[in-house]
Amino acid sequence: MLIKSIFTNSSGILVSRILGFIRDLLTASILGANIYSDIFFVAFKVPNLFRRIFAEGAFTQAFIPSYAKSKYKIRFSSLIFLQLIGFLLVLSLLVTLFSGFITKAIAIGFDAKTIDLAAPLVAINFYYLPLIFIVTFMAALLQYKHHFATTAFSTALLNLALIAALLLSKDLDKYEITYYLSYGVLVGGVLQVIVHLLAIKKKNLCKIFTFRKHEKKEENRFYKSFFGATLGNSTAHISAFLDTWLASFLVSGSISYLYYANRVFQLPLALFAIATSVAIFPMIAKSIKNKDEKRALHLMKKSSLILFALLSLATLIGIVFNNQIVWLLFERGAFNVSDTSNTSLILVMYLIGLVPFGIAKIFSLWLYAHEKQFLAAKISMKALAGNIIFSLLLITPYEAAGLAFASTISGFILLFLTLKEFGFNKFKILIFK
């Protein structure tokens, strides 16, 4: 079941990422690396940041263990859904009302004219967050039932919507293209909701709304775990967000170089590390609930050894062929030779941290399954602190490449501290036993 689940997730992620690279190829060709691509990436980064912190990582890591232990699963899940979707809708409205202020806060290096251009896009893109939370909620229920295919393949719908938006708008003014892309994000979100609704109906999981009395302690336990998981998950994405914020002070195009390089870096991380962690987490959580620690450790050993081999190979290939990879994927149209050179250097800086980020992700699941979200958050905050320090030290001499390498250093810090809490002796016995 483990291999099948990993393969299902990896296949879906691969399809989605291939379409994502086609999307990025078109974006690079049509928009290039300039102020227009920068403002769209900034606008899309806001809901993406909250999506990865709030909806995908934190919610799933807190929800699945709490759902597994809940005596009244339908009542518990419906209450959590109604509370969080209400909060996200209110938050989206506030972002719409104060989009100029939000844009200034996330891209402080932008001048007033650029902020005016970006603010409407920030408001539009943010409505992707409540849509993707609905998707994530249904995905968590499906994962608990060991159904991964719908979620794994559904991200392709977002990329298809953005590809369609680019093709429809390619002959328009560049600023108008950013509006097409922003509305394409929302269309992609709606399509993802629809396919998950169909899967939920097929699995007979539609009874998520009830209004009967609910045990408060289950709700409190979930939110305690959820806030810890939110804090822990926020650090990696705040790190990426920090890159964008600091890069807004550098030459035009720096944000785009970081974005394109990170997109390549994220492929093996998602294809192997994220696919594996999504597949094994429900199994580990159920094993811990049933007090079967031996099985949970066996799953972690098997997955971490496979992951180490795959990520090491991906790192070697990426570093050796960095320039060729960026050239093949992006160098056409408005994306020129100089853009390729800058992006490929940043890619190498990211790839050095691929193995530590991937292995840390697997071993952090042990903490989440034991509902030690705040301990995992503390570890992540220390890694973030290291990233901030090294970003400030490296940005002046090495510019955008320095920001990418600071992120890599934080990956090594994260791995060290995660294994320390797991137990170095236990890790040694687990791997070499």
**pLDDT single digits (tens) 34-69:** 778 788 888 887 777 666 665 556 787 778 887 877
In a 13 Å sphere around the CA of 14, the CA atoms on its Cβ side amount to: 7
Compute the average pLDDT of residues 308-329: 94
More confident residue, 362 or 335: 362
Considering only 90-104, 141-155, 233-247, which range has the smallest mean pLDDT?
A: 233-247
Q: What is the pLDDT of residue 183?
A: 93
Question: Would you state the structure tokens that stand for residue 96, as one six-digit string?
Answer: 């719409």
Q: What is the pLDDT of residue 57?
A: 67
Which residue from 360, 323, 330, 327 is spatially nearest to 345, judged by alpha carbons? Answer: 323
pLDDT at 306 over 80: yes
More confident residue, 19 or 217: 19
pLDDT at 291 over 70: yes
> How confident is residue 33, by pLDDT bands cut at 50, 70 and 90?
low
Percent of the chain topping pLDDT 70: 92
Burial of 422 (0-12, 13-18, 19+ CB in 10 A): middle
Q: What is the pLDDT of residue 196?
A: 92
Domain residue limits at 134: 2-432
**pLDDT single digits (tens) 155-201:** 889 889 999 999 998 888 888 888 999 999 999 999 999 999 998 88
CA torsion sign for 255, 256, 257, 260 is positive
Compute the average pLDDT of residues 17-37: 79
Q: What is the pLDDT of residue 2?
A: 61
Q: Inter-axis angle of helices 59-69 and 128-144, to 10 degrees? A: 40
**pLDDT single digits (tens) 85-108:** 999 899 999 988 988 888 887 777
pLDDT at 212 over 60: no
How many other C-beta atoms can be found within 10 angstroms of the C-beta atom of residue 207? 12
In a 13 Å sphere around the CA of 310, the CA atoms on its Cβ side amount to: 20
Question: Would you state the structure tokens that stand for residue 346, as one six-digit string?
Answer: 């940043």
pLDDT at 343 over 90: yes
Compute the average pLDDT of residues 269-296: 84
> How confident is residue 210, by pLDDT bands cut at 50, 70 and 90?
low
Which residue from 74, 85, 86 is spatially nearest to 206, judged by alpha carbons? Answer: 74
Q: What is the pLDDT of residue 51?
A: 66
> How confident is residue 325, by pLDDT bands cut at 50, 70 and 90?
very high
Compute the average pLDDT of residues 243-258: 83
Q: What is the pLDDT of residue 211?
A: 52
Residue given tokens 């920090």 in the structure block: 242
Compute the average pLDDT of residues 379-388: 92
Compute the average pLDDT of residues 7-19: 79
Q: What is the pLDDT of residue 59?
A: 81
Q: What is the pLDDT of residue 216?
A: 63
129 neighbors 55 (Cβ within 8 angstroms): yes
pLDDT at 405 over 70: yes
**What CA–CA distance (Å, rounded) separates 299 from 103?**
43
Please state the domain count of the chain: 1
Q: What is the pLDDT of residue 250?
A: 86
Q: What is the pLDDT of residue 235?
A: 73
Compute the average pLDDT of residues 201-227: 68
Considering only 53-67, 288-302, 374-388, which range has the smallest mean pLDDT?
A: 53-67
pTM check: above 0.85:
no
> How confident is residue 204, by pLDDT bands cut at 50, 70 and 90?
confident
Report the SS3 class of residue 304.
Answer: helix
